[in-house]
Structure 1
């Protein structure tokens, strides 16, 4: 999808900074915040910068591996180096502090393993995890990945996308069958995603690993669409899929707590910066 339209407010976004490096970083922020490829023309309209200046900045980001030009030569998307940087930041930030405390409390109160996850390409990556103390459990390390179509978190994240965005993400290869229960038919998956979109949560009923059931909800975001989920995993013999919805309430409460913690952290940072300026 092209981005040649003007911003909603009708005003170009400020691509500012005291140095050329900061201005390039501001442009990178603008591009990374989008769910679609961008063009030189669209960025010129949105930023108000001259095309020659933008072209030079895009070339620098492309040369650095932070952006990738698409096969048509007109559209740009985020590069592997930028995505790896984002994953490293999330992995190293999510394992500590108050957010991890919420995850630990959820695991203790439910008696099951809990995950904080995010979308990474066509996979879900485990940003943080607290294992249950029960002797029967599935052990998965932080940094583990699951296919987006075969995980509860993946379904939640896919359900927030437009049909066009989902097709773009999933059309590059067939949906692999990881277990007999994996949804490999696009129509079946679409019906499952519609249910997830309507109810606000999704279940993986032994679709990723035999004997493993998972239920996930999104972490609320002030941007609307969320890129992260909170999930509970348990052996199917202890948590049948039909009983998993009973965990939706504590999951959503914990997800809201994480969103509040992060929002308060941003407010504290803004307050400190204001105090330093004054």
Structure 2
């Protein structure tokens, strides 16, 4: 592991259970010397990624907040999706959540709240289970065979517990049904009393989704909800978000290419 990798890995040591750490804690976790841990921590403080508190403990620093803001501002899917999510929430009467798949992590990136009393276990930035709930299943249903095979090899027990199958063939067959439907309805899978309808999101012409939109529905209200209409509204919102995001990304690429052709190379003076 390189020094920069070890340095940045310190940020992953902080959690809800351990929001503050000492340099000694860092040394123990990284299995490095105390002087090395102090040097790493000092560099992260200088960079604004950590902040030192009275008593010699450290916590996550203000630069992370600024980076999160920049991420929100620069993410075209989020920028385009937010007003559509707000519209869907107002129209449906339910909360709407956007989730993104990054590598082998699934995180919620935005929530449009309709019912402020609805307390969800997961929120922006907190990794979610990869195979439980509507969002991951809607996303996974679009993955190619090779990618599903790798995931099944890595997480066979989690996949079996999620009800998606105990073999690779069952796993793929379950997801194919979801793909054909274009959405997935979960009932109390992730949290008791909370159900969700999710549909995949795309950012290019690839058939592989990068995220999902989900309507969050208290399970007790499912029997009174017009599911057919909710599915139609959700799929339309997801398709509109995907289409506009693709267009924005393509436009940005075209503009960048045009700019590169109009800028003349600097001539070397002789």
TM range (shorter): 0.5 to 0.7
Of 251-260 and 262-271, more deviation after overlay is shown by 262-271
**3-state DSSP of counterpart to 1:207:** strand
Tell me: CA distance 1:161–1:268, structure 2 relative to 1, closer, same or farther (3 Å).
closer
Gaps of 5+ in 2: 6-66, 263-270
**Larger radius of gyration between Structure 1 and Structure 2:** 2
Tell me: CA distance 1:185–1:248, structure 2 relative to 1, closer, same or farther (3 Å).
same
Instruction: Report the Cα distance in structure 1 between the residues aligned to 2:155 and 2:247, rounded to whole angstroms.
Output: 41
Task: State the TM-score, normalizing by the size of structure 2.
Answer: 0.59
Larger relative helix fraction? 2
Q: Within 5 A, what are the aligned runs for 1:24-63?
A: none
CA offsets, 1:71-122, max 9 Å, x none? xxxxxxxxxxxxxxxx978655448643211111111111111111122344
Task: State the TM-score, normalizing by the size of structure 1.
Answer: 0.57
- 8 Å CA contact 1:90–1:127 kept in 2: the answer is no
1:261 and 2:261 matched: no
Tell me: CA distance 1:173–1:144, structure 2 relative to 1, closer, same or farther (3 Å).
same
Q: How far 1:236 sits from its partner (Å)?
A: 0.3
Q: Within 5 A, what are the aligned runs for 1:221-260?
A: 221-240=204-223, 244-260=227-243
Instruction: Report the Cα distance in structure 1 between the residues aligned to 2:121 and 2:114, rounded to whole angstroms.
Output: 9
| Aligned equivalent of 2:148 | 166
Matched residue pairs, number? 194
Tell me: CA distance 1:137–1:108, structure 2 relative to 1, closer, same or farther (3 Å).
farther
1:154 and 2:136 matched: yes
1:214 and 2:182 matched: no
Instruction: Report the Cα distance in structure 1 between the residues aligned to 2:94 and 2:111, rounded to whole angstroms.
Output: 11
Q: Within 5 A, what are the aligned runs for 1:79-94?
A: 93-94=74-75
Q: How far 1:222 sits from its partner (Å)?
A: 1.1
1:186 and 2:166 matched: yes
Instruction: Report the Cα distance in structure 1 between the residues aligned to 2:71 and 2:211, rounded to whole angstroms.
Output: 10
Tell me: CA distance 1:63–1:227, structure 2 relative to 1, closer, same or farther (3 Å).
farther
| Aligned equivalent of 2:63 | none
| Aligned equivalent of 2:109 | 127
Gaps of 5+ in 1: 1-61, 66-86
Instruction: Report the Cα distance in structure 2 between the residues aligned to 1:108 and 1:172, rounded to whole angstroms.
Output: 40
Instruction: Report the Cα distance in structure 2 between the residues aligned to 1:245 and 1:121, rounded to whole angstroms.
Output: 32
- 8 Å CA contact 1:218–1:230 kept in 2: the answer is yes
Instruction: Report the Cα distance in structure 2 between the residues aligned to 1:266 and 1:173, rounded to whole angstroms.
Output: 33
| Aligned equivalent of 1:69 | none
Instruction: Report the Cα distance in structure 2 between the residues aligned to 1:249 and 1:231, rounded to whole angstroms.
Output: 12
Instruction: Report the Cα distance in structure 1 between the residues aligned to 2:89 and 2:147, rounded to whole angstroms.
Output: 33
Instruction: Report the Cα distance in structure 1 between the residues aligned to 2:173 and 2:225, rounded to whole angstroms.
Output: 18
State the superposition RMSD in angstroms.
3.5
2:93 corresponds to which of 102, 111, 123:
111
Of 121-130 and 248-257, more deviation after overlay is shown by 121-130
